[in-house]
């Protein structure tokens, strides 16, 4: 196997995996290294002042995680749908592995770690986010973020991520806790969550609480949990207000800003800082709507982006603006949104995570996409098909066909890998966009 010279896989330590409903034995890991820059090879331009505050916010969060480790507080690695609100309430520091992988991709540092994982037998058809974590964890390099004390995962958005992190846990020799999320069904495209599913998920949250109490030697503070859920609800509601304003014509905030400002929704839900950030963002978007400020001077087309964002070429999000088009909205935020009740924290957390629109039948996604097309006055869709994600790719054709049938609007499907730049042809993708925009112009 050919690895870059500094990348030599380290032997595993002992560990354990706990399925929070079906207990098994085994175990898990994550990353730290050089100071990261926010610049990619080709970064998007952000017109909103608040969007430019995200990178300092993220750097501060990583710095506090390192300090927490020094202070003997526990650091927990997670995948994107772990219950961050509960983890913040219990005074442990959650670090989302997908976010760190995206930082590696943005800075063009990810490929050596992908190659290391591939040399160990992990196919390039698997998610590059998770291959990067495996590669970095097994490389032996110093971690940019503190080593984890345990890992929390969930099955409600990314089943591949649950499995692929097992060798990481084995390398670090730490506990791995997996929350099994019941599948949500649908009536008329709207999620239906039966009480027995809420009870099942709540039981696992209670188990996780007991486990963390044992690890930290501190009981859960019920008032702190209510406060944390309250902060999460405020942040969620502020984001929904921002989304309402984005329906305005001209559009005051594009997907270029959304892709950045979504960060607190991902990793900081349940914190006071997330609430403050979204209040600032809401105030700025309100100001832009009041002044009639749009992303482009003469808005010709309003586009919907479905799927993840390409990390190594985020300037692609601005390229549409050269044609008088704005990416008005994406579907990425629906992964993180959900109504919460501080007076009923565990049940409302269960409902939030079960109702994730990837944790159910494709009719849920079709229903949400139709709502976005209507509400945001969409006349074209851009669909990014990340080859490593079955959840995103699996229903994309069904969504395209349903939207075409009901609204008659066209879609452009772009295939590739959101973090692996090796197969990316920048000119080819831009040619696809040019042809698509010419076609949209011809329909006016």
The verdict on residue 287 lying in a domain is yes
Mean pLDDT, rounded, for 339-363: 92
pLDDT recorded at residue 84: 97
Task: Select, from the ranges 17-21, 104-108, 131-135, 231-235, the one with the highest average predicted confidence (pLDDT).
Answer: 231-235
Q: Is the pLDDT of residue 60 over 90?
A: yes
The total of other beta-carbon atoms located within 10 Å of residue 426's CB is 16
Mean pLDDT, rounded, for 65-90: 94
State pTM to two decimals.
Answer: 0.89
Domain count, the chain: 1
Q: Is the pLDDT of residue 48 over 60?
A: yes
The verdict on residue 4 lying in a domain is no
Q: Is the pLDDT of residue 24 over 70?
A: no
In the chain, pLDDT over 70 holds for what percent of residues? 89
List strand residue ranges (DSSP E) for 62-119, in order: 75-78, 93-96
- Looking up tokens 């109504």 gives 339
Q: Is the pLDDT of residue 358 over 60?
A: yes
pLDDT recorded at residue 388: 78
* Of 215, 213, 140, 212, the residue nearest 172 (C-alpha): 140
Structure letter (DSSP) for residue 187: E
- Looking up tokens 């329909």 gives 443
The verdict on residue 157 lying in a domain is yes
The verdict on residue 165 lying in a domain is yes
The verdict on residue 168 lying in a domain is yes
pLDDT band, very low/low/confident/very high, at 26 (cuts 50, 70, 90): very low
Q: Is the pLDDT of residue 29 over 60?
A: no
Mean pLDDT check: name the lowest of 16-25, 189-198, 232-241, 277-286.
16-25
Residue pair 53/273 in contact (Cβ under 8 Å)? The answer is no
* Greater pLDDT, 203 or 97: 203
Q: Is the pLDDT of residue 36 over 70?
A: no
* Greater pLDDT, 177 or 3: 177
- For residue 197, CA distances in Å to 48, 207, 211, 362 come to 41, 16, 21, 19
- Looking up tokens 């503070």 gives 221
Per residue in 277-313, pLDDT (tens digit) is 999 999 999 999 999 999 999 999 999 999 988 999 9
| Helix/strand/coil for 351 | helix
pLDDT recorded at residue 143: 65
* Greater pLDDT, 44 or 182: 182
> What does the alpha-carbon distance between residue 303 and residue 328 come to, in Å, rounded to a whole number?
6
Q: Is the pLDDT of residue 101 over 50?
A: yes
Question: What domain range is 356 assigned to?
Answer: 16-442
pLDDT recorded at residue 42: 57
pLDDT recorded at residue 15: 45
Task: Output the average pLDDT for the chain.
Answer: 87
| Helix/strand/coil for 23 | coil
Mean pLDDT, rounded, for 163-191: 84
Per residue in 388-437, pLDDT (tens digit) is 787 777 788 999 999 999 999 999 999 999 899 998 999 999 999 999 99
Residue pair 155/353 in contact (Cβ under 8 Å)? The answer is no
Mean pLDDT check: name the lowest of 28-37, 69-78, 231-240.
28-37
Mean pLDDT, rounded, for 201-228: 97
Close Cβ partners of 438 (under 8 Å, ≥ 6 residues apart): none
Q: Is the pLDDT of residue 30 over 80?
A: no
The verdict on residue 1 lying in a domain is no
The verdict on residue 54 lying in a domain is yes
Residue pair 314/337 in contact (Cβ under 8 Å)? The answer is no
* Greater pLDDT, 226 or 189: 226
DSSP of 57-73: HHHHHHHHHHHHHHTT-
pLDDT band, very low/low/confident/very high, at 112 (cuts 50, 70, 90): very high
pLDDT recorded at residue 442: 92
Neighbour-count burial of 220, counting CB atoms closer than 10 A to its CB (0-12 exposed, 13-18 middle, 19+ buried): middle
pLDDT recorded at residue 327: 98
* Greater pLDDT, 422 or 7: 422
Task: Select, from the ranges 24-28, 212-216, 363-367, the one with the highest average predicted confidence (pLDDT).
Answer: 212-216
pLDDT band, very low/low/confident/very high, at 115 (cuts 50, 70, 90): very high
The verdict on residue 7 lying in a domain is no
């Amino acid at each position: 196997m050919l690895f870059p010279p500094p990348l030599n896989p380290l032997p595993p330590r002992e560990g354990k995996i706990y399925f929070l409903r079906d207990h098994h034995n085994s175990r898990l890991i994550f990353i730290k290294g050089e100071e990261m820059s926010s610049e990619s090879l080709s970064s998007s331009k952000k017109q909103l002042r608040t969007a430019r505050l995200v990178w300092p916010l993220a750097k501060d969060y990583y710095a506090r995680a390192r300090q927490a480790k020094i202070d003997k507080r526990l650091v927990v690695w997670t995948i994107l749908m772990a219950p961050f609100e509960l983890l913040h309430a219990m005074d442990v520091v959650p670090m989302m592995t997908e976010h760190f992988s995206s930082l590696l991709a943005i800075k063009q540092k990810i490929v050596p770690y992908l190659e290391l994982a591939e040399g160990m037998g992990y196919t390039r058809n698997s998610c590059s986010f998770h291959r990067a974590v495996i590669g970095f964890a097994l490389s032996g390099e110093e971690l940019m973020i503190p080593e984890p004390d345990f890992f929390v995962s969930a099955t409600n958005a990314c089943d591949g991520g649950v499995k692929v992190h097992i060798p990481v846990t084995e390398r670090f020799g730490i506990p791995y806790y997996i929350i099994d999320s019941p599948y949500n069904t649908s009536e008329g495209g709207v999620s239906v969550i039966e009480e027995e599913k809420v009870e099942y998920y709540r039981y696992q949250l209670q188990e996780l609480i007991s486990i963390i109490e044992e690890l930290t030697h501190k009981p859960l503070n019920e008032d702190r949990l209510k406060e944390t859920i309250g902060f999460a609800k405020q942040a969620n509601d502020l984001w929904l207000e921002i989304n309402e304003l984005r329906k305005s014509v001209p559009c005051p905030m594009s997907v270029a800003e959304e892709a950045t400002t979504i960060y607190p929704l991902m990793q900081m839900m349940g914190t006071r800082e997330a609430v403050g950030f979204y209040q600032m963002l809401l105030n700025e978007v309100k100001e832009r709507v009041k002044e009639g400020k749009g992303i482009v001077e003469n808005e010709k087309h309003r586009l919907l982006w479905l799927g993840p964002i390409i990390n190594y070429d985020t300037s692609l999000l601005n390229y549409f603006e050269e044609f008088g088009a704005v990416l008005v909205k994406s579907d990425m935020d629906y992964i993180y949104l959900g109504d919460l009740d501080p007076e009923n924290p565990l049940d409302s957390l269960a409902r939030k995570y079960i109702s994730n629109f990837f944790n159910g039948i494709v009719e849920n996604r079709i229903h949400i996409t139709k709502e976005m097309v209507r509400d945001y006055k969409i006349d074209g869709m851009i669909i990014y098909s990340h080859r490593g994600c079955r959840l995103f790719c699996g229903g994309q054709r069904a969504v395209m066909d349903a939207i075409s049938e009901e609204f008659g609007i066209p879609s452009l499907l772009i295939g590739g890998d959101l973090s692996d730049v090796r197969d990316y042809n920048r000119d080819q993708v831009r040619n696809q966009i040019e042809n698509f925009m010419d076609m949209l112009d011809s329909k006016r």
